[in-house]
Amino acid sequence: MNIISDPITLIKKSFEIFFKKENFIYFLKIYFPAFIISLLSVWRKSSGMTSELEKGNFQYFLDKPILIALIVLVSLATLIFGIWFSAASLEAVISVVNSGTLAFKDTYKRAWGYALKLALVSFLVGLIVVGGLILLIIPGIVFSVWFAFARFGIAEKKLGIGASLKESKSLVTGRFWEVFGRLFVLSLFAIVGQIVFSFVPFVGPAILTIFGALFLLPHYLLYRELESGSVGKI
């Protein structure tokens, strides 16, 4: 069984990869659409429409059928793009780490092939973890560690949902606490990043979107180390 890097090393490697000039420019291109949508979301929250919703003034919208149709269409388009973007951001990280093609169009094209499956496995893992937390809390924590890497199996190996869950659990088997400790620190890293950007007025959340790959990279690097040396024993 191989020795996996400590979380600080994983974070340092992620910084080196993310801020390498060609990688950084590539990530900016991949995340730019999400950045624009995030800016529009910030604007919407500061507009009168959000305040009317918060007041429960639904008549404001009922009097504007065109506005309702527009909101529905935009919401649907945003949902579809969000699913696609999640896959594209993962595909971008995989491409950079594995010295793949760093092209915006190719990345989104490849991601489209498994975007829905990725969304489904993420939803399923979420249900499993929440169910475990509701039951006894500890099972939820165990499930969150077991299935933390299922998305990578789908994106990199094109596994099915069941196979990706099985692979993720097998990677963690025998080194649960090692993985748990690293995931815990990486989660703190992401939380600190959110707090830092929250102090940037107005555009903070949108800017945070641009740095999404920086917080995803350590998880993928950890997956690669586990995958390269896993023996599937307890």
Using CA atoms, how far apart are residues 203 and 41, in angstroms rounded to an integer?
A: 10
Q: Where are the domains of the chain?
A: 7-229
The pTM of the whole model exceeds 0.85: no
CA dihedral 133, 198, 118, 230 (to 10 degrees): -70
152-211 pLDDT, tens digit per residue, is 999 999 999 999 999 999 999 989 999 999 999 999 999 998 888 877 766 677 788 889
Cα–Cα separations (whole angstroms), residue 83 to 27, 118, 121, 133: 17, 8, 12, 25
Residue 3 DSSP symbol: P
Classify burial at 24, counting beta carbons within 10 Å of its beta carbon; exposed 0-12, middle 13-18, buried 19 or more. middle
**How many other CB atoms are there within 10 angstroms of residue 40's CB atom?**
13
58-90 pLDDT, tens digit per residue, is 555 566 667 667 777 877 888 898 899 999 999
Please give the single-letter amino acid code of residue 21: K
Q: What are phi and psi of 174, to 5 degrees?
A: 95, -10
Using CA atoms, how far apart are residues 169 and 144, in angstroms rounded to an integer?
A: 10
Dihedral over Cα of 155, 159, 162, 166: its sign:
negative
